[in-house]
Structure 1
C-alpha cells in the first residue's frame, strides 16, 4: 500500500520546482493504479473530483497550500503532482482514468463567468474531461449558469468554504432550480473540513435541498468531518450523492477519522458513492486513495460501483 509520506521530502513538504513523484515513483504509482482497476475487471476508473483551472490560478492555489493558509487548517500539505497542465492530463490517462473533471471555483464576485469560459475551452481540447462549470451568489448568476448548461456543461463545482457564502442565499435560488431541472450534478464542498467556515456543515445545504429536493448534489469529501450528518441527507434525498475525495486516507484519518459504526450505511448507499481524489492537490500518491477504499473491506462489487459504474451511469459514459 502506498503511504503519503513517500510523496514528501524529509520536512513533510513537497518541493515547488516539480512533482513530488518522478521517475521510478511515477511508474510505480501508475502500475499500482492500473493493477487496482484491472483486478476488479473494470475498463478504467472515473474520478469526479480533479482540479484543472487557469495556470495562474492553480499556481496561487498551490502557493496557498505551501504557505499553510488558514483554510488548510495549518496542516503541512505537499502537492504530489506539481506538473504542467499537459503532464497532469497525461498522468490521469496513464492511470486509466476514463473521465475526470475540472473542479474550479471563484472566491469573489466576477470570477465565475470567466472561469466558466476557460473551462469550456479546456473541455473542448480535453475530450475525456467532463465539461465543468461553477457559480457564485451574485447578480447574473442564473444567466451564466444557464449559458453554461446550454453550452454543454455536465457538472458544476461549488465551494462554500473558499467562497465563504451561504448556499441557501436567495441569489442562488434560481440557479439551483435551473440545475435541478436540467439534472446537472453539482460537486459541493460544504463540509467543515479541513477548517470550518461560517456556512459549512449540513444545515445550510439542507435548506437548499428542502427547496430543491431533486438537485443532484455530490457532497465532496463525504462531508468530512460531519460524515454521518451528510449520510443522513443522502438517505433523505435520493439525488444526493457523496464523493470519496481524501476520505479514509492515512492523511485524513489522522485528522477526521470516519466512524466505523457508519460503514454499513456507506455500504447501503453504494450506488450513490463516487470516486473523487482531489488530484493534483493531494499529499500522497494517487494509488493511496484507491487502497484506502479497498481496505474498508466492503467488497469488490462496492468498489466497482464507486470507482467506475456509478459515475459512468450518471454521465452516460459508453461501456
Structure 2
C-alpha cells in the first residue's frame, strides 16, 4: 500500500504549484478530472489498482491515499480553484445512488463542480433529467469500466437531453490503458454524427488513439480533450503522444482542458502540470489549458 506524501513533500509540491502559477500568470487552476466518491467505493477502486487489475496491467501505486478532507486540502493548497467529483457505475442500479452522493458532496463543497453519471438501464432518462434539473454541471461516462456502448438504444434519449442542455460530459472512451469491447473512436464518431452539438470532453486525450480523437475535435466544435496523465513519464513509457501531432495542440488550444486523475495517480500531482510545461508550447497555451478554457466552458467567473 502506498503511503501518502509526508509533510515535507506536500510543502514542496505546494511551492512548486505556486511557482508555476506565478510563472504563467494564472489566477488558479481548474482540474476537470478529479475523483471524489463515497468512501466504500473509493476504497474498492484503490483495491483494484493495488491488485494490478486487468485494465491497468501494470503496478499503479496510489500517491494520494488519504481521507476526503485531506485530499480537498491538498487541492486547495495547490491552487486548484475548481475541480470535479467524477463517479462512474460498473453495473445497473448504481448510478442514481452515486448521483445522490455527488449532489450532497457538491452542496457541501462549493469549489467542486456538481457532477453526475449514468448507465444504460431502465429509468436512466428520468434520473439524468432529474440531475440536469438539480444543477449538474458535468457528467462522467466510463465506457471501459461500464463495458457498454455509447450507442446503446437505452441512451438515445439521454444523449438528446444532454445535447439540448449543453451540459458537458467527461467520457473515457479511448482504448487505454487496455482496450474494451466498446472503446475507440468509431462509436464516438457515430454518436457525434447523431448528436453533433454534444459537449464531450474526451478523457486522457483519447489515449492511445490520440490522432483519431484530435480528428473528431477538429470536425465537431463541442469536442474537447482533457490532458489526464498524458505526457507524464508514466504514460509516455507505454502510450507516447506522437510528436507528429504536436502542432495540432496549438490549433486546438481552446479545446484542451487540464485533468489529472487525482488522487488515483502513481506520481506526484505536480508532475501532471510539469508534463504540460515541458512541452514548450508557451505560457498562453498553458493559461488556456490550465484555466481559461474550463472557466469559459463552465462559466466560472
TM-score if structure 1 supplies the norm length? 0.93
User: What is aligned with 1:316?
Assistant: 299
User: What is aligned with 2:54?
Assistant: 70
Matched, 1:22 2:14: no
Deviation at 1:35, TM superposition (A): 1.1
Deviation at 1:39, TM superposition (A): 1.4
* 63, 71, 83: which one aligns with 1:80: 63
Q: Flag as ranges the 4+ runs of structure 1 deviating above 4 A.
A: none
Q: How far does the alpha carbon of each residue in 1:129-171 deviate from its partner, in whole angstroms, 9 at most, with x for none?
A: 0000000011111110000000000000000000000011111
Q: Determine helix, strand or coil for the equivalent of 1:271.
A: coil
Whole-Å separation in 2 of the counterparts to 1:78 and 1:244? 20
User: What is aligned with 1:3?
Assistant: none
Whole-Å separation in 2 of the counterparts to 1:296 and 1:285? 18
Matched, 1:188 2:192: no
Matched, 1:233 2:220: no
Deviation at 1:179, TM superposition (A): 0.7
Q: Which moved more, 1:31-40 or 1:239-248?
A: 31-40
Q: Determine helix, strand or coil for the equivalent of 2:140.
A: strand
Whole-Å separation in 1 of the counterparts to 2:62 and 2:261? 10
Matched, 1:58 2:42: yes
Deviation at 1:256, TM superposition (A): 0.2
Deviation at 1:101, TM superposition (A): 0.1
User: What is aligned with 2:160?
Assistant: 177
Please list every run of 5 or more consecutive structure 2 residues that lacks an aligned counterpart in the other structure: none
Count of aligned residue pairs for this structure pair: 301
Deviation at 1:86, TM superposition (A): 0.6
User: What is aligned with 2:133?
Assistant: 150
Whole-Å separation in 2 of the counterparts to 1:301 and 1:31? 22
Matched, 1:138 2:118: no
Kindly indicate whether the alpha-carbon contact (under 8 Å) linking 1:33 and 1:286 is maintained by their aligned counterparts in 2: no
Whole-Å separation in 1 of the counterparts to 2:103 and 2:264? 22
